Amino acid sequence: MKRIFAFLFAIASLWIPHLCFAGISDYPTVAVVPVVNQVTTRSIPETELDIARDTLNTDLFQSGYFNMVERARVDALISEFEFDMSGLVDTSTAAKFGKMLGAQYVVIGSVTGLSIDPKNRGKMVANISARMVEVETARIALAGRGKGVGSSTSEALEAASDDAIEGNRGMLMMLRGGK
């Protein structure tokens, strides 16, 4: 009887780690490229666009649905091949870029609006559009739009990015079967 329990314990101890971590490699790999400013009337510093990108990356990772390509690896490839940021907004270019990274999907983020809140002059309002492009086909697999309000441009961009992933019109809502 002791031998049976010892045998079962030995088998269980070999399989438990595999069961606990079985799904990690099953999630699709996603790369988030730098967010671009499509607002022609207002310049946005790259450091503030990086906040939006980091928020998109973090929210997608924390959703538990995706493996993420590390930002430094994405940036290194951009530098190495001298990709033009505006070119990465195009779905076919983003798909080619994603293949080079070994990603299955690439997220393209664009600031589509940035203004002073007309209701509260001390606040900024930002709008962000985010699209997840399938690398193999260049089709848009998921899309989200977000709006954010903050006391600074960076706070508004962060809130808008968060909303584009987790909000009512966000990617995760679409993934879960919402509109």
pLDDT digits (tens, 9 = 90+) for 147-177: 999 999 999 999 999 999 999 999 999 888 8
- Does 91 reside within a domain? yes
What does the mean pLDDT of the chain come to? 84
Domain boundaries, position 86: 25-175
Lowest mean pLDDT across 36-40, 91-95, 136-140: 91-95
The secondary structure of 14-44, three-state, reads HHHHHHHCCCHHHCCEEEECCCEECCCCCCC
- Does 118 reside within a domain? yes
pLDDT for residue 138 is more than 50? yes
Q: What does the pLDDT read at residue 177? A: 86
Q: How far apart are CA 53 and CA 60, in angstroms?
A: 11
- Does 1 reside within a domain? no
Q: How far apart are CA 48 and CA 94, in angstroms?
A: 22
Report the share of the chain in percent with pLDDT over 70. Answer: 82
Q: What does the pLDDT read at residue 96? A: 83
* pTM across the whole model: 0.80
pLDDT for residue 92 is more than 90? no
H-assigned helices in 21-129 = 46-62, 71-81, 91-101
Q: How far apart are CA 95 and CA 136, in angstroms?
A: 7
Write the burial class of residue 96 (CB in 10 Å: 0-12 exposed, 13-18 middle, 19+ buried). middle
Q: For the domain that residue 103 is a member of, what is the CATH number?
A: 3.40.50.10610
Q: What does the pLDDT read at residue 83? A: 67
Of the candidates 66, 57, 62, 69, the residue with the CA atom closest to the CA atom of residue 28: 66
Q: How far apart are CA 65 and CA 28, in angstroms?
A: 8
Q: What does the pLDDT read at residue 14? A: 46
Residue length of the chain? 179
- Does 15 reside within a domain? no
Overall domain count for the chain: 1
pLDDT-derived band of residue 121, with 50, 70 and 90 as boundaries?
confident
